[in-house]
Amino acid sequence: LSKLAIFRFRPAAETVTDVAVGRDALRLLDARLPRIAKGRWFVVSSGAVFERHGDRFLKAVLRSNVDPSPLLVPDGEKAKSWPVLGRLLLELTRRGLKRDGGVIAFGGGTVGDVGGLAASLALRGVPIVQVPTTLLAASDSALGGKTAVDLPAGKNLVGTVHHPRLVLVDTALLQTLPERVLRSGLAEVVKSSFLDLAFHRAFPRLEEGLAMGKPDALAEGVLRSLRMKARVVAGDPLERTGARFALNLGHTVGHALETASKHALTHGEAVGWGLLAMLELSVARVGLDPAVAERLSERVVRLVAPPRLTPRTLSGWVERLASDKKSDQRGLRAVLLAEPGRAVTLQVTAGDLEGSLARALRKSMPAGPSRS
Protein backbone atom coordinates (compact mmCIF):
# COMPACT_ATOMS: atom_id res chain seq x y z
CA LEU A 1 0.00 0.00 0.00
CA SER A 2 2.72 2.47 -0.82
CA LYS A 3 0.44 4.31 -3.20
CA LEU A 4 -2.93 5.87 -2.64
CA ALA A 5 -6.05 3.81 -2.18
CA ILE A 6 -9.20 5.57 -3.26
CA PHE A 7 -12.82 4.52 -2.98
CA ARG A 8 -16.22 6.15 -3.23
CA PHE A 9 -19.39 5.39 -1.35
CA ARG A 10 -22.94 6.68 -1.16
CA PRO A 11 -23.96 7.18 2.44
CA ALA A 12 -27.39 8.44 1.36
CA ALA A 13 -29.34 9.30 -1.76
CA GLU A 14 -27.59 12.02 -3.74
CA THR A 15 -24.66 12.05 -1.34
CA VAL A 16 -21.21 10.86 -2.30
CA THR A 17 -18.17 10.59 -0.09
CA ASP A 18 -14.78 10.06 -1.72
CA VAL A 19 -12.12 8.51 0.47
CA ALA A 20 -8.36 8.56 -0.15
CA VAL A 21 -5.79 6.95 2.12
CA GLY A 22 -2.02 6.83 1.81
CA ARG A 23 1.27 8.61 2.05
CA ASP A 24 1.10 12.08 0.62
CA ALA A 25 -2.67 11.96 0.12
CA LEU A 26 -2.70 15.69 0.86
CA ARG A 27 -1.50 16.38 -2.65
CA LEU A 28 -4.95 15.45 -3.97
CA LEU A 29 -6.52 18.52 -2.37
CA ASP A 30 -5.56 20.99 -5.07
CA ALA A 31 -7.32 19.01 -7.77
CA ARG A 32 -10.27 17.86 -5.68
CA LEU A 33 -11.44 21.01 -3.88
CA PRO A 34 -12.59 22.97 -6.96
CA ARG A 35 -14.52 19.93 -8.18
CA ILE A 36 -16.52 20.03 -4.95
CA ALA A 37 -16.99 23.80 -4.68
CA LYS A 38 -15.56 26.55 -6.82
CA GLY A 39 -15.79 29.32 -4.22
CA ARG A 40 -13.59 30.11 -1.24
CA TRP A 41 -12.66 27.39 1.26
CA PHE A 42 -11.92 27.89 4.95
CA VAL A 43 -9.82 25.71 7.22
CA VAL A 44 -10.84 24.80 10.75
CA SER A 45 -7.96 23.44 12.86
CA SER A 46 -6.46 23.59 16.32
CA GLY A 47 -3.31 25.52 17.22
CA ALA A 48 -1.47 22.37 18.24
CA VAL A 49 -2.22 20.61 14.96
CA PHE A 50 -1.63 23.60 12.74
CA GLU A 51 1.71 24.46 14.34
CA ARG A 52 2.91 20.97 13.56
CA HIS A 53 1.44 20.33 10.14
CA GLY A 54 0.11 23.66 8.90
CA ASP A 55 3.01 24.21 6.49
CA ARG A 56 2.46 20.85 4.80
CA PHE A 57 -1.22 21.60 4.57
CA LEU A 58 -0.79 25.07 3.08
CA LYS A 59 1.72 23.75 0.56
CA ALA A 60 -0.87 21.21 -0.56
CA VAL A 61 -3.53 23.84 -1.23
CA LEU A 62 -1.26 26.40 -2.86
CA ARG A 63 -3.20 26.50 -6.11
CA SER A 64 -6.66 26.17 -4.57
CA ASN A 65 -9.00 28.87 -3.44
CA VAL A 66 -8.30 28.30 0.26
CA ASP A 67 -8.04 31.10 2.83
CA PRO A 68 -4.50 30.54 4.17
CA SER A 69 -5.22 31.64 7.73
CA PRO A 70 -7.00 28.87 9.61
CA LEU A 71 -9.90 29.33 12.01
CA LEU A 72 -8.36 27.91 15.18
CA VAL A 73 -10.38 26.15 17.87
CA PRO A 74 -9.09 25.11 21.31
CA ASP A 75 -7.22 21.82 21.42
CA GLY A 76 -9.05 18.66 22.48
CA GLU A 77 -12.61 18.25 23.72
CA LYS A 78 -12.83 21.97 24.63
CA ALA A 79 -13.29 22.62 20.93
CA LYS A 80 -16.69 20.93 21.03
CA SER A 81 -18.60 23.66 22.78
CA TRP A 82 -21.50 25.89 21.92
CA PRO A 83 -19.45 29.14 22.26
CA VAL A 84 -16.70 27.78 19.98
CA LEU A 85 -19.31 26.76 17.41
CA GLY A 86 -20.85 30.24 17.60
CA ARG A 87 -17.47 31.89 17.08
CA LEU A 88 -16.75 29.66 14.09
CA LEU A 89 -20.04 30.60 12.44
CA LEU A 90 -19.45 34.31 13.05
CA GLU A 91 -15.94 34.09 11.68
CA LEU A 92 -16.97 32.13 8.59
CA THR A 93 -19.58 34.72 7.67
CA ARG A 94 -17.27 37.62 8.56
CA ARG A 95 -14.64 36.24 6.19
CA GLY A 96 -17.18 35.94 3.43
CA LEU A 97 -18.11 32.27 3.19
CA LYS A 98 -20.55 31.92 0.30
CA ARG A 99 -22.85 29.14 -0.82
CA ASP A 100 -20.28 28.12 -3.40
CA GLY A 101 -17.58 27.78 -0.71
CA GLY A 102 -16.68 25.08 1.76
CA VAL A 103 -14.99 24.10 4.99
CA ILE A 104 -12.00 21.81 5.56
CA ALA A 105 -11.59 20.26 9.01
CA PHE A 106 -7.88 19.64 9.61
CA GLY A 107 -7.26 17.93 12.94
CA GLY A 108 -8.39 15.20 15.28
CA GLY A 109 -11.93 14.03 15.93
CA THR A 110 -12.75 17.10 17.97
CA VAL A 111 -11.88 19.46 15.11
CA GLY A 112 -13.81 17.23 12.70
CA ASP A 113 -16.91 17.19 14.89
CA VAL A 114 -17.16 20.94 15.49
CA GLY A 115 -15.93 21.85 12.00
CA GLY A 116 -18.48 19.52 10.46
CA LEU A 117 -21.27 21.00 12.56
CA ALA A 118 -20.28 24.54 11.60
CA ALA A 119 -20.26 23.54 7.91
CA SER A 120 -23.68 21.94 8.20
CA LEU A 121 -25.20 25.06 9.78
CA ALA A 122 -23.48 27.90 7.91
CA LEU A 123 -25.78 29.17 5.14
CA ARG A 124 -27.90 26.05 5.78
CA GLY A 125 -24.98 23.87 4.85
CA VAL A 126 -21.81 24.06 2.78
CA PRO A 127 -19.57 21.11 1.84
CA ILE A 128 -17.19 19.71 4.44
CA VAL A 129 -13.91 17.98 3.63
CA GLN A 130 -12.33 15.98 6.44
CA VAL A 131 -8.55 15.80 6.69
CA PRO A 132 -8.04 13.81 9.91
CA THR A 133 -4.72 13.99 11.74
CA THR A 134 -5.29 11.43 14.52
CA LEU A 135 -5.71 7.70 14.04
CA LEU A 136 -9.12 7.80 15.72
CA ALA A 137 -10.37 10.46 13.33
CA ALA A 138 -8.73 8.75 10.32
CA SER A 139 -10.11 5.29 11.03
CA ASP A 140 -13.50 6.26 12.38
CA SER A 141 -14.89 9.72 13.05
CA ALA A 142 -14.00 11.48 9.77
CA LEU A 143 -16.40 9.26 7.85
CA GLY A 144 -20.09 8.79 8.55
CA GLY A 145 -21.25 12.38 8.79
CA LYS A 146 -21.87 12.68 12.52
CA THR A 147 -21.08 16.15 13.82
CA ALA A 148 -21.33 17.35 17.39
CA VAL A 149 -20.68 19.69 20.25
CA ASP A 150 -21.11 18.82 23.92
CA LEU A 151 -23.50 20.19 26.54
CA PRO A 152 -22.99 20.26 30.31
CA ALA A 153 -25.40 17.32 30.50
CA GLY A 154 -23.21 15.14 28.30
CA LYS A 155 -21.04 14.61 25.28
CA ASN A 156 -22.28 14.94 21.69
CA LEU A 157 -25.77 16.05 22.71
CA VAL A 158 -26.07 18.57 19.87
CA GLY A 159 -25.28 17.68 16.30
CA THR A 160 -26.30 16.96 12.77
CA VAL A 161 -25.59 14.39 10.10
CA HIS A 162 -23.56 16.10 7.39
CA HIS A 163 -21.59 13.69 5.24
CA PRO A 164 -18.15 14.83 4.10
CA ARG A 165 -17.63 15.10 0.36
CA LEU A 166 -14.05 13.96 0.76
CA VAL A 167 -12.11 12.17 3.48
CA LEU A 168 -8.39 12.42 2.93
CA VAL A 169 -6.04 10.47 5.17
CA ASP A 170 -2.36 11.30 4.75
CA THR A 171 -0.51 8.75 6.85
CA ALA A 172 2.57 10.99 7.07
CA LEU A 173 0.54 13.24 9.38
CA LEU A 174 0.03 10.35 11.78
CA GLN A 175 3.77 9.92 12.35
CA THR A 176 3.87 12.66 14.98
CA LEU A 177 1.13 11.24 17.19
CA PRO A 178 2.08 10.79 20.85
CA GLU A 179 2.11 7.11 21.87
CA ARG A 180 -1.02 7.44 23.97
CA VAL A 181 -3.05 9.13 21.22
CA LEU A 182 -1.90 6.46 18.74
CA ARG A 183 -2.95 3.62 21.05
CA SER A 184 -6.29 5.27 21.64
CA GLY A 185 -6.90 5.28 17.89
CA LEU A 186 -5.80 1.67 17.64
CA ALA A 187 -8.83 0.77 19.78
CA GLU A 188 -11.09 1.73 16.87
CA VAL A 189 -8.95 -0.16 14.38
CA VAL A 190 -9.05 -3.25 16.59
CA LYS A 191 -12.82 -2.86 16.94
CA SER A 192 -13.15 -2.72 13.15
CA SER A 193 -11.06 -5.87 12.82
CA PHE A 194 -13.57 -7.69 15.05
CA LEU A 195 -16.49 -6.60 12.89
CA ASP A 196 -15.03 -7.55 9.50
CA LEU A 197 -13.96 -11.10 8.76
CA ALA A 198 -11.47 -10.23 6.00
CA PHE A 199 -9.85 -7.61 8.23
CA HIS A 200 -9.74 -10.08 11.10
CA ARG A 201 -7.92 -12.56 8.88
CA ALA A 202 -5.44 -9.94 7.66
CA PHE A 203 -4.72 -8.77 11.19
CA PRO A 204 -1.80 -11.02 12.14
CA ARG A 205 0.15 -9.67 9.17
CA LEU A 206 -0.51 -6.05 10.22
CA GLU A 207 -0.29 -6.35 13.96
CA GLU A 208 3.35 -5.53 14.51
CA GLY A 209 3.38 -2.62 12.07
CA LEU A 210 0.26 -1.18 13.69
CA ALA A 211 1.71 -1.47 17.17
CA MET A 212 4.77 0.43 15.97
CA GLY A 213 2.76 3.02 14.05
CA LYS A 214 4.36 2.14 10.69
CA PRO A 215 2.82 4.19 7.84
CA ASP A 216 2.00 1.23 5.58
CA ALA A 217 0.34 -0.77 8.32
CA LEU A 218 -1.58 2.32 9.45
CA ALA A 219 -2.69 2.99 5.88
CA GLU A 220 -4.04 -0.54 5.50
CA GLY A 221 -5.65 -0.53 8.96
CA VAL A 222 -7.32 2.82 8.28
CA LEU A 223 -8.46 1.77 4.82
CA ARG A 224 -9.97 -1.49 6.04
CA SER A 225 -11.67 0.30 8.96
CA LEU A 226 -13.14 2.97 6.71
CA ARG A 227 -14.33 0.47 4.12
CA MET A 228 -16.06 -1.50 6.84
CA LYS A 229 -17.65 1.63 8.28
CA ALA A 230 -18.69 2.84 4.81
CA ARG A 231 -20.43 -0.46 4.13
CA VAL A 232 -22.30 -0.32 7.42
CA VAL A 233 -23.24 3.36 7.09
CA ALA A 234 -24.43 2.94 3.50
CA GLY A 235 -26.71 0.15 4.70
CA ASP A 236 -28.20 2.32 7.44
CA PRO A 237 -27.55 6.00 6.65
CA LEU A 238 -30.04 7.46 9.11
CA GLU A 239 -29.43 4.95 11.90
CA ARG A 240 -32.92 3.53 11.52
CA THR A 241 -32.40 -0.18 10.94
CA GLY A 242 -30.02 -0.78 13.80
CA ALA A 243 -27.28 -2.12 11.50
CA ARG A 244 -25.12 0.88 12.29
CA PHE A 245 -25.42 0.10 15.98
CA ALA A 246 -22.83 -2.65 15.55
CA LEU A 247 -20.19 0.08 15.28
CA ASN A 248 -20.77 0.66 19.00
CA LEU A 249 -19.03 -2.59 19.91
CA GLY A 250 -17.25 -1.90 23.20
CA HIS A 251 -18.72 1.59 23.44
CA THR A 252 -21.55 1.15 25.95
CA VAL A 253 -19.11 0.15 28.67
CA GLY A 254 -16.45 2.39 27.12
CA HIS A 255 -18.48 5.60 27.28
CA ALA A 256 -19.53 4.93 30.87
CA LEU A 257 -15.91 4.35 31.91
CA GLU A 258 -14.69 7.37 30.00
CA THR A 259 -17.20 9.67 31.69
CA ALA A 260 -16.85 8.13 35.14
CA SER A 261 -13.07 8.59 34.94
CA LYS A 262 -13.70 12.26 34.07
CA HIS A 263 -11.64 11.61 30.96
CA ALA A 264 -8.60 10.35 32.88
CA LEU A 265 -9.05 7.45 30.46
CA THR A 266 -8.90 8.38 26.79
CA HIS A 267 -11.81 7.31 24.60
CA GLY A 268 -9.74 4.49 23.13
CA GLU A 269 -8.50 3.23 26.49
CA ALA A 270 -12.07 3.10 27.76
CA VAL A 271 -13.22 1.36 24.57
CA GLY A 272 -10.33 -1.09 25.02
CA TRP A 273 -11.83 -2.17 28.34
CA GLY A 274 -15.28 -2.17 26.76
CA LEU A 275 -14.06 -4.57 24.07
CA LEU A 276 -12.53 -6.89 26.68
CA ALA A 277 -15.79 -6.90 28.63
CA MET A 278 -17.85 -7.60 25.50
CA LEU A 279 -15.63 -10.54 24.57
CA GLU A 280 -16.38 -12.02 28.01
CA LEU A 281 -20.10 -11.48 27.60
CA SER A 282 -20.04 -12.83 24.05
CA VAL A 283 -18.65 -16.16 25.23
CA ALA A 284 -21.39 -16.38 27.86
CA ARG A 285 -24.33 -15.20 25.77
CA VAL A 286 -23.83 -15.68 22.05
CA GLY A 287 -21.49 -18.63 21.86
CA LEU A 288 -18.23 -16.94 20.91
CA ASP A 289 -15.54 -19.63 20.96
CA PRO A 290 -13.49 -19.07 24.15
CA ALA A 291 -10.22 -19.71 22.30
CA VAL A 292 -11.12 -17.04 19.74
CA ALA A 293 -12.14 -14.64 22.52
CA GLU A 294 -8.76 -15.22 24.09
CA ARG A 295 -6.93 -14.34 20.88
CA LEU A 296 -9.03 -11.23 20.36
CA SER A 297 -8.44 -10.14 23.96
CA GLU A 298 -4.71 -10.45 23.41
CA ARG A 299 -5.06 -8.20 20.39
CA VAL A 300 -6.68 -5.52 22.56
CA VAL A 301 -4.09 -5.81 25.29
CA ARG A 302 -1.18 -5.70 22.87
CA LEU A 303 -2.33 -2.80 20.70
CA VAL A 304 -4.45 -0.65 22.99
CA ALA A 305 -2.78 -1.56 26.30
CA PRO A 306 -5.61 -0.07 28.35
CA PRO A 307 -4.21 1.02 31.73
CA ARG A 308 -5.22 -0.77 34.89
CA LEU A 309 -8.38 0.66 36.37
CA THR A 310 -8.13 2.09 39.85
CA PRO A 311 -11.09 2.24 42.23
CA ARG A 312 -11.18 5.97 41.60
CA THR A 313 -11.44 5.56 37.83
CA LEU A 314 -14.10 2.94 38.27
CA SER A 315 -16.24 4.70 40.80
CA GLY A 316 -19.71 5.47 39.52
CA TRP A 317 -19.26 3.88 36.11
CA VAL A 318 -22.28 1.58 36.41
CA GLU A 319 -24.57 4.52 37.18
CA ARG A 320 -23.29 6.14 34.00
CA LEU A 321 -24.64 3.28 31.92
CA ALA A 322 -28.18 4.46 32.44
CA SER A 323 -27.47 7.87 30.94
CA ASP A 324 -26.05 6.38 27.75
CA LYS A 325 -27.39 8.43 24.85
CA LYS A 326 -28.08 5.23 22.96
CA SER A 327 -30.18 3.61 25.67
CA ASP A 328 -33.93 4.02 25.26
CA GLN A 329 -37.23 2.84 26.77
CA ARG A 330 -36.21 -0.73 26.21
CA GLY A 331 -33.11 -0.29 28.33
CA LEU A 332 -29.52 -1.05 27.56
CA ARG A 333 -28.41 -2.67 24.37
CA ALA A 334 -25.00 -4.13 23.83
CA VAL A 335 -23.24 -5.32 20.71
CA LEU A 336 -21.78 -8.80 21.12
CA LEU A 337 -19.67 -10.89 18.81
CA ALA A 338 -20.90 -14.35 17.84
CA GLU A 339 -17.76 -14.82 15.77
CA PRO A 340 -15.31 -12.48 14.01
CA GLY A 341 -17.32 -10.52 11.46
CA ARG A 342 -20.71 -11.37 12.99
CA ALA A 343 -22.09 -8.90 15.54
CA VAL A 344 -25.34 -9.43 17.45
CA THR A 345 -27.29 -6.81 19.40
CA LEU A 346 -28.82 -7.93 22.69
CA GLN A 347 -30.81 -6.36 25.50
CA VAL A 348 -28.63 -6.49 28.58
CA THR A 349 -28.74 -5.27 32.14
CA ALA A 350 -26.24 -3.05 33.87
CA GLY A 351 -25.46 -6.10 35.99
CA ASP A 352 -24.49 -8.11 32.88
CA LEU A 353 -22.05 -5.40 31.85
CA GLU A 354 -20.70 -4.97 35.37
CA GLY A 355 -20.09 -8.70 35.69
CA SER A 356 -18.33 -8.98 32.35
CA LEU A 357 -16.03 -6.04 33.04
CA ALA A 358 -15.21 -7.57 36.42
CA ARG A 359 -14.27 -10.84 34.67
CA ALA A 360 -12.15 -8.99 32.14
CA LEU A 361 -10.44 -7.08 34.94
CA ARG A 362 -9.62 -10.27 36.81
CA LYS A 363 -8.18 -11.88 33.70
CA SER A 364 -6.05 -9.20 32.13
CA MET A 365 -3.32 -7.32 33.74
CA PRO A 366 -2.53 -5.05 30.82
CA ALA A 367 0.96 -3.70 30.66
CA GLY A 368 -0.01 -0.04 30.63
CA PRO A 369 0.57 2.23 33.61
CA SER A 370 -2.41 2.83 35.88
CA ARG A 371 -4.20 6.14 35.61
CA SER A 372 -6.56 7.48 38.17
Residue closer to ligand NAD by CB (options 141, 313) is 141
Select the residue interacting with ligand NAD from 15, 64, 65, 156 (CB under 6 A): 156
Is 45 a binding residue for ligand NAD by CB under 6 A? The answer is no
Please, are residues 64 and 39 in contact by the beta-carbon 8 Å criterion? no
Question: Could you tell me the smallest distance in angstroms from the CB atom of residue 105 to ligand NAD?
Answer: 10
Q: How far apart are the first and last CA of the chain?
A: 39
Select the residue interacting with ligand NAD from 45, 81, 110, 120 (CB under 6 A): 110
Question: Could you tell me the smallest distance in angstroms from the CB atom of residue 96 to ligand NAD?
Answer: 27
Question: Could you tell me the smallest distance in angstroms from the CB atom of residue 337 to ligand NAD?
Answer: 20
Select the residue interacting with ligand NAD from 23, 146, 183, 320 (CB under 6 A): 146
Residue closer to ligand NAD by CB (options 23, 267) is 267
Q: Which stretch binds ligand NAD (CB under 6 A): 37-45, 69-77, 90-98, 280-288?
A: 69-77
Is 103 a binding residue for ligand NAD by CB under 6 A? The answer is no
In DSSP terms, 154 is beta-bridged to: 151
Is 113 a binding residue for ligand NAD by CB under 6 A? The answer is yes
Question: Could you tell me the smallest distance in angstroms from the CB atom of residue 98 to ligand NAD?
Answer: 26
Q: Which stretch binds ligand NAD (CB under 6 A): 140-148, 213-221, 306-314, 321-329?
A: 140-148
3-class secondary structure per residue, the chain: CCCCEEEEEEEECCEEEEEEEECCHHHHHHHHHHHHCCCCEEEEEEHHHHHHHHHHHHHHCCCCCECCCCEEECCHHHHCCHHHHHHHHHHHHHCCCCCCCEEEEEECHHHHHHHHHHHHHHHHCCCEEEEECCHHHHHHHCCCCECCEEECCEEEEECCECCCCEEEEEHHHHHHCCHHHHHHHHHHHHHHHHHCHHHHHHHHHHHHHHHCCCHHHHHHHHHHHHHHHHHHHHHCCCCCCCHHHHHHCCHHHHHHHHHHCCCCCCHHHHHHHHHHHHHHHHHHHCCCCHHHHHHHHHHHHHHCCCCCECHHHHCCHHHHHHCCCCCECCEEEEEEEEECCEEEEEEECHHHHHHHHHHHHHHCCCCCCCEC
Is 149 a binding residue for ligand NAD by CB under 6 A? The answer is no
Question: Could you tell me the smallest distance in angstroms from the CB atom of residue 173 to ligand NAD?
Answer: 5
Is 61 a binding residue for ligand NAD by CB under 6 A? The answer is no
Is 248 a binding residue for ligand NAD by CB under 6 A? The answer is no
| Identity of the residue numbered 280 | E
Please, are residues 135 and 174 in contact by the beta-carbon 8 Å criterion? yes
Residue closer to ligand NAD by CB (options 133, 259) is 133
Is 218 a binding residue for ligand NAD by CB under 6 A? The answer is no
Is 133 a binding residue for ligand NAD by CB under 6 A? The answer is yes
Residue closer to ligand NAD by CB (options 53, 200) is 53
Is 52 a binding residue for ligand NAD by CB under 6 A? The answer is yes
Question: Could you tell me the smallest distance in angstroms from the CB atom of residue 222 to ligand NAD?
Answer: 13
Would you tell me which residues interact with ligand NAD (CB under 6 A)?
46, 48-49, 52-53, 75-77, 80, 107-111, 113, 133-134, 136-137, 140-141, 144, 146, 155-156, 173-174, 176-177, 181, 184, 267
